[in-house]
Amino acid sequence: MLYYLYSEFGINIFRYLSFRAGLAFIIALCLCLFIFPKFIAWAKQKKASQPISDSLPAHKIKSNTPTMGGVVFVSSSVITGLLCANITNFYVLFGLLVLVVFSLIGIRDDYIKISSRTNSGISAKRKMLLLFFASFAVAFALFMIEHNSFLYMPFFKNPIIDMSYFSIIFWLIIFISSSNAVNITDGLDGLATVPTICAITTLSIFVYIAGNAFFSSYLLLPKTIYGGELFVVSSAVLGSLFGFLWYNCHPAEVFMGDSGSLSMGAFIAYMGIVSNNEILLILVGLIFVIETLSVILQIGSYKLRGKKIFLMAPIHHHFEVKGWSENKIIIRFWIIALLSNILALLSLKIR
């Protein structure tokens, strides 16, 4: 809405993307820092905490920690995005819809866990079905607005192939994979939050460059017309995540819940697609990839050989069983996330 102060009244400062993005970050951060203490107090009163699995006895101390923190930081992101971004921009609208729709799926899952006092929410089949329809809707919408369907490889100047109609299926897979990957990683205090911040920061840089004719041409990156406006929304998400991290760092006062993890995973996928960095997402979200692979390998090995590869999956629990302190696991995973995103940013110049 602040954009209209420029377009309708000529207040020139609101014309600049960088100013509105910075303002969005601050507003979202302040909203979260203001709302979370009240939300935590309310959630404790309502006993809105996620039951802890019996296979993790060391986590029993966290049994009264409120969950569904995603409701607060996703809401803050959406409100701030509506306030600071140009809401007539279809990339902005789709980005806000991704945040809301995937968060709603997570809210339903969290609510069932809380109300039933079990660690099982929506059935796996129903959850995947909901994620499929949400992912397909966004992927199809992107295709219909003729978003670039060329597939680019990191560190290469030219596209590999035009995916054409297959891009819908490819983008659908990315949405489902990314949302589930962040969901799997969200198992320790702040473990998923900082890698998400790293990933969205990297992708925000790519989105900003892709939306700028001069920078995209100079760096030989594919230009996404009107895509730069999404930078305002991603800045709002980053501000919200920093506000959430204030209360989510060890020992956590509130958990993200599926309402946050599914939404953040989907938004990372969306940013990767808009900036034409679908393959680079492997490096940008390396921690999420490692966590997901550990689960796939564990299940596959047990079904095929009757043996486990890890002491427990996802892999962060493997290190817990080995005796690593929670803080050590979290910090080391954060370091990996930071380094992998620095490598991803190198692809800006090495092409």
DSSP string, 180-209: HHHHHHTTSTTTTHHHHHHHHHHHHHHHHH
CB 34 within 8 A of CB 80: no
State the Cα–Cα distance between residues 73 and 264, nearest whole angstrom.
Answer: 10
Beta-bridge partners for 161: 151
Cα–Cα distance between 54 and 291 in angstroms, integer? 21
DSSP 51: P
Give CA–CA dist 315/293, Å, rounded.
9
What is the average pLDDT across 159-174? 96
What residue ranges do the domains of the chain occupy? 3-281
- Give the integer Cα–Cα distance in Å for 123 and 115: 15
Q: Specify the 3-state DSSP secondary structure of 131.
A: helix
Amino acid letter, residue 49: S
Burial label for 105, CB within 10 Å (0-12, 13-18, 19+), is buried
161-162 vs 150-151, strand pairing mode:
antiparallel
pLDDT at 272 over 90: yes
pLDDT at 351 (0 to 100)? 76
- Give the closest residue to 201 by CA, choosing from 330, 345, 32: 345
Q: How far from chain centre, in Å, is Cα 174?
A: 12
pLDDT band at 10 (very low <50, low <70, confident <90, very high): low
The span from the CA of 213 to the CA of 143, in Å, is: 22
pLDDT (tens digit, 9 = 90+) per residue, 303-347?
A: 999 899 999 999 999 999 999 999 999 999 999 999 999 999 999
pLDDT in tens, 31-88: 999 999 999 999 999 888 877 766 666 677 777 899 999 999 999 999 999 999 999 9
* Tokens, residue 223: 């230009």
Which residue's structure tokens are 């006993």? 47
- Residue 6's pLDDT is 58
CB 31 within 8 A of CB 240: yes
Q: What's the pLDDT tens digit per position in 219-248?
A: 989 999 999 999 999 999 999 999 999 999
Gap between the Cα atoms of 351 and 335, Å rounded: 25
Residue of 148 and 47 predicted with greater confidence:
148
As a whole number of Å, the end-to-end CA separation of the chain is: 38
